[in-house]
Amino acid sequence: MRFQPYRSPSTGREVRAVFFDTFGTAVDWRTGVARQATAFAAEQGRELDAEAFADDWRALYQPAMEAIRSGTREFTTLDTLHRENLDRVLRRHGFDPERLGAETLEKLNKSWHRLPPWPDSVAGLAAIRRRYIVGPLSNGNTSLLLDMARSAGLPWDVIIGSDMTRTYKPLPGAYLRTAEFLDLSPGEVMLAAAHNSDLQAAREAGLATAFIARPTEYGPGQAADLAPEGNWDLSASGIPELADLLGA
């Protein structure tokens, strides 16, 4: 019997590709950055509140992209934004970036290239990939997402970085240009994400949507994004459950 792809109620189309938010949905950025910050501090013979360091660094992410989204700054990669933000975070945690070597700073900045997958990500993606095209739909640049895929073992079919769409989520171009590179209509592409705001923007751009619960992304005290807050097409406790719901 021929496989029947999942038909999205919201778009009315059969889904051909399932694209994943990465930071928080496919990989655990907080644990990954904290671990590498701890190693950095140890190399410097210092101590560090590594989870706070990761949270502080991540908190500078949205404001940094905002200048590009609003058009007051020309597009630049997330690696560059992370590197700029790193100086501020280091100072806040008592490190002087000017006294650290370029190689040390570069290695620490590339923490975002080497994040661990959530325990269910690799198997779940492999299952979905049997029936659907899979890829990241992230604000990360291509080389970041590529290094992440190789180190975490994420079996993407294709990587369309934000340096290819030249825009940042949640602007509609991020979703629409991804669909365009795939030669699919937006309604044939599903965004799977742990963040309700990302799903809202994807829906407004015409994509199918799936919520993946990641209740500890922001640590044990996480207060937001614990449950779906919209009428998303699908909602799953992890990527393997999403695979089941997609019939993959």
Query: What does the DSSP assignment read for 7-19?
Result: BPTTT-SB--EEE
Residue 32 touching its own copies (CB under 8 A): no
Beta bridge partners of 117: 27
Query: Where does this chain touch its own copies (CB under 8 A) — which range of 59-67, 98-106, 136-144, 205-213?
Result: 136-144
Q: Which of 66, 106, 157, 204 binds its own copies (CB under 8 A)?
A: 157
Q: Which is nearer to its own copies, 133 or 212 (CB)?
A: 133
**Alpha-carbon Rg for the chain in angstroms:** 18
- Show the binding pattern over residues 71-90: x = contacts its own copies (CB under 8 A), - = does not: --------x-----------
**In this structure, what is the dihedral angle of CA atoms 25, 29, 30, 32, given to the nearest 10 degrees?**
130
State the minimum distance, in angstroms, from the CB of residue 145 to its own copies. Answer: 8
**CA-CA distance, 155 to 135, in Å (whole number)?**
8
**Selection from 203, 197, 195 nearest residue 232 by Cα:** 203
**Selection from 219, 220, 213 nearest residue 195 by Cα:** 213
Residue 149 touching its own copies (CB under 8 A): yes
A 10 A CB-CB count for 227 gives 10
Residue 137 touching its own copies (CB under 8 A): no
Residue 188 touching its own copies (CB under 8 A): no
Residue 167 touching its own copies (CB under 8 A): no
Residue 103 touching its own copies (CB under 8 A): no
Q: Which of 143, 151, 185, 216 binds its own copies (CB under 8 A)?
A: 143
State the minimum distance, in angstroms, from the CB of residue 141 to its own copies. Answer: 7
CA separation, residue 150 to residues 36, 80, 114 (Å): 17, 21, 9
Q: Which is nearer to its own copies, 136 or 170 (CB)?
A: 136
- Residues found in the chain: 248
Q: Listing from the earlier edge strand, what are the strands of the sheet with 133-136?
A: 133-136, 17-20, 189-193, 208-212, 234-236
What's the distance, CA 143 to chain centroid?
Answer: 14
Q: Which of 41, 160, 190, 243 binds its own copies (CB under 8 A)?
A: 160
State the minimum distance, in angstroms, from the CB of residue 219 to its own copies. Answer: 30
Residue ranges that bind its own copies, judged by CB under 8 A: 79, 133, 141-143, 146, 149-150, 157-161, 163-164, 181-184
